[in-house]
Structure 1
Amino acid sequence: MKENEIAILMAAGLGTRMRPLTEHIPKPLVSVCGTPLIETVIQGLQLRGVKKIYVVVGYLKEKFTYLEEKYANLKLIENKEYLEKNNISSLYAVGDILGSADCFICEADLYVTDKTVFLKEFSQSCYFGKMVLGYSADWAFTVDNRRIVKIGKGGIDAYNMAGVSYWKKEDAYLIRTAIQKAYQTPGHESLFWDEIVNQELNDIFVTVEKIPSDCIVEIDTLEELQQMDNTYEMAK
């Protein structure tokens, strides 16, 4: 049991790229092979023994209430700004929870095929990363001697974000402070929380935790969903 660890799952978004499916169900609750995406993440965290899981909700928030009944160590937190601001608002919504303990920060719409990926031991803060050969327009890391020195969209032969990161308590506290500071400046509304981390890389030592490309799958479109679960073929 990891009594000193918590997790924050970001589940507030609209999931627009998967419409019309997400018009009536939030994307993290879309099932793949019988299991809602978010529960594949939760099950991995439960396997590790994370003490508390906080799920930040917004769009169709009432659909998530069953999770609090199903998982005793799970609590929902509402992001009331999800329509007006980018995902920086979800970490702002958790307030001083961020920085109170060693912490996973996870996207809630991932399909985790190998739950043991959460059993790794971490000596420092890290992003899970998947190597992508050639050019990728997705979020990627520039790495120098194991250390992440830049986070941004686009990369060639680079480790791409996998949607899971792990933060030592003191680093999570620095991120929380930087987010609260950013909230005082115009333009913060459009920021991804990872852009805040990028600004703080001189003060936070972050590495890439390399994972196989198939153990955490990001499903962004109906076409990708159909590839993973052929029961959705009729959605074409």
Structure 2
Amino acid sequence: MITKREFDMLVLLTETKEVVSQRDMAERLKISAEAVNKTVKELTEKNYCKNGQITQAGLDALEPYRVKRAIFVAAGFGSRMVPITLNTPKPLVRVNGTRIIDTLLDAAVEAGIPEIVIVRGYLGEQFDQLLYKYPNIRFVENPIYNEANNISSAVCVRYLLQNAYVLEADLLLRNKKLIRKYEYETNFLSIPVESTDDWCFATDHNGVITEEKIGGTDCHQMVGISYWSEADGIKLANDLNEVYLSQGGKERYWEQVPLVYKKENYQVHVRECIAEDITEIDTFNELKAIDNRYVTG
């Protein structure tokens, strides 16, 4: 087990082939030079780094934190994007020539995530076209996508959630670095905002989510990308199924299981990004505002 600071420094060392000065480390990690010096000393004593570069032992120490798979929830109809979704699943809609889901898939591939799973339902056979560019994709069918909320998709892949990202497949990702090779802890991507009418999180002073709600002030607006550690992924498999089988369970959103109905079993941290990093296109009018090729006379 390594500390979060040790983790951050080791990951930084994997991202550069050149020796990083301690001043640069302090700037990139946003910590003091004293903290950098202390952490480098600790890592050197553990043989995790030497002369400013990560060792094989350091890489081995990171291995438990390596992301094993990316799971895409892509089964829904996308009713607010009608008419474009009448013939095309929302994740496959092109924005300025690129399919929405490709922005996420490209990031997962570049991060070296070895397994990619897509849960599909509506017009599911159309997702086969992705295999030409991403031949390693595995599909999981959600046969009741039109009878239940997205918790049904999560239940279909509940045994694959350890060391895994779960991504809404209709997000237009602009910052590929948000999808990473290593993750230290269970987290949900979010944007700190002064106020929002959207789904958001309240957090404690440690950045742990204490409440999921619609609308709030001085909160974190939810982004549909999360990561689940090995231990939390195992718990989530059981909790998802229990909530799904309970009265009204089919109407739940999947993330309500760890954040609302079974939140005592989890510590989910927020991972901050900015609004420019990612765009959720909810309606056809929003699509037209981004891509004028959908504007008709």
TM-score scaled by structure 1?
0.93
The verdict on how the C-alpha distance between 1:174 and 1:24 changes in structure 2, with shifts beyond 3 A counting, is same
Q: Pick the structure with more helix per residue.
A: 2
From 145, 163, 179, the equivalent of 1:82 is 145
Q: Secondary structure at the match of 2:275?
A: coil
- The residue number in structure 1 matching 2:99 is 36
The question of whether the paired residues in 1 share the 8 Å contact of 2:193 and 2:219 is answered with: yes
- The residue number in structure 1 matching 2:69 is 6
Q: Unpaired runs of 5+ in structure 1? A: none
From 137, 145, 166, the equivalent of 1:105 is 166
Q: How many residues align?
A: 232
The question of whether the paired residues in 2 share the 8 Å contact of 1:152 and 1:195 is answered with: no
- The residue number in structure 1 matching 2:22 is none
The verdict on how the C-alpha distance between 1:4 and 1:141 changes in structure 2, with shifts beyond 3 A counting, is closer
- The residue number in structure 1 matching 2:293 is 231
Deviation larger for 106-115 or 219-228: 219-228
Cα offset for 1:202? 2.1
Q: Which amino acid aligns with 2:210?
A: V
Q: Unpaired runs of 5+ in structure 2? A: 1-13, 15-62
**Equivalences for residues 145-156 of structure 1 within 5 A:** 145=205, 146-156=207-217
- The residue number in structure 1 matching 2:225 is 164
Larger Rg: 2
Cα offset for 1:177? 0.8
**Equivalences for residues 73-222 of structure 1 within 5 A:** 73-99=136-162, 102-119=163-180, 121-134=182-195, 136-145=196-205, 146-198=207-259, 199-222=261-284
Distance in 1, Cα, partners of 2:164 & 2:181:
13
From 49, 56, 61, the equivalent of 2:119 is 56
Q: Which amino acid aligns with 1:110?
A: L
Cα offset for 1:223? 1.6
Q: Pick the structure with more strand per residue.
A: 1
Q: Deviations over 1:4-51 (max 9, x none)?
A: 510110000010001011000010001111111011111111111111
The question of whether the paired residues in 1 share the 8 Å contact of 2:161 and 2:228 is answered with: no
Q: Secondary structure at the match of 1:183?
A: helix
Question: Considering only aligned residues, what root-mean-square deviation do their CA atoms show, in Å?
Answer: 1.8
The question of whether the paired residues in 2 share the 8 Å contact of 1:148 and 1:201 is answered with: no
Cα offset for 1:120? 7.1
